[in-house]
Amino acid sequence: MQISLSAYAVAKGELNDTKLFITGDYSNQTFTGVYNTTNDTFTTLTQTNMIARRNHTSEIWQDKLFIFGGNTTTFISSCLTSTQNADLSALLSTAPIAISKLNVCQNPVKDILNLLFNKEITTA
């Protein structure tokens, strides 16, 4: 695999899953790809509605890829408060399939994540 990426996010599926999902890039901010660690292959996915972003984070939970925050330029004013998700159930299946399109959806509930802590967080 030879691909140059910067300012991207990586998410891995469940414990035994062998796929890594990569989203975003410094210049190609809607980049989406899947790296299969078992057979050392990389597939670039085409998606039509991912919000362009870099310096974001992503996570897989219950067969859905969640993409959080990030920005679009080097300025703080470009920080994104949106969350998007995509159903990965077909891509996470162990059956051989040929999927090259990922549909990303806006978070239907809230498009900003607010965390409130009422006590100081300390480490032991």
* Mean pLDDT (whole number) for 95-103: 52
* Mean pLDDT (whole number) for 56-72: 90
Q: Please tell me the total number of residues recorded for the chain in this structure.
A: 124
The model carries a pTM of 0.71
pLDDT, mean over the chain: 76
- Of 25, 107, 26, 95, residue with least CA distance to 64: 107
Distance CA 9, CA 58 (A): 6
Helical ranges in the chain per DSSP H:
89-92
* pLDDT at position 119 over 90: no
